[in-house]
Amino acid sequence: MQLKITARHFDLSDDLKSFADKEILKLERYFKHILDGNLVLTLDKSRVSAELSLKVHGTVLNTNADDFDMYNAVEKSVTKMEGRLRKYKAKLIEKKPRNGQTIKDAEGWQDSPETEQEPT
């Protein structure tokens, strides 16, 4: 996963960057197919906003968290993203047919129409 961290209206310290890297890399335990990540930290007076977006196969997931502390804002955003990744993964598992069946087979549909036999 490629990760890009951007700081707006302040200088990004090495400690904060390494902390954010560690937190975001923990997300790979919930979903292994994360392609790209982008974290934007914005400082407005005393409020910090952390916007995290992850590009996964098929979609982009976004979270936003505000706090007075930069580290807490990053943690909140990552925690929200954990829930979104779990939900997305569950949705993918639901759509996936099981045991090699087609979706029609799993619902009780048959591929070929039944032929009716005439009574003798």
Is 101 inside a domain boundary? Answer: no
CA distance 42 to 55: 21
The boundaries of the domain holding residue 29 are 2-96
pLDDT band at 110 (very low <50, low <70, confident <90, very high): very low
- When the pLDDT of each residue in the chain is averaged and rounded to a whole number, the result is 85
Structure tokens at 82: 């954990």
Taking only the tens place, the pLDDT of each residue in 14-37 is: 999 999 999 999 999 988 889 999
CA distance 108 to 94: 17
Q: How many CB atoms sit inside 10 A of residue 24's CB?
A: 22
Q: What is the CATH number of the domain that holds 45?
A: 3.30.160.100
Is 105 inside a domain boundary? Answer: no
pLDDT band at 93 (very low <50, low <70, confident <90, very high): confident
**pLDDT value of residue 113:** 46
Question: How many domains is the chain built from?
Answer: 1
Taking only the tens place, the pLDDT of each residue in 29-70 is: 988 889 999 999 999 999 999 999 999 988 999 999 999 999
Is 51 inside a domain boundary? Answer: yes
Q: Within a 13 Å sphere around the CA of 82, how many CA atoms are in the beta-carbon half?
A: 12
pLDDT band at 120 (very low <50, low <70, confident <90, very high): low
**pLDDT value of residue 118:** 55
Is 85 inside a domain boundary? Answer: yes
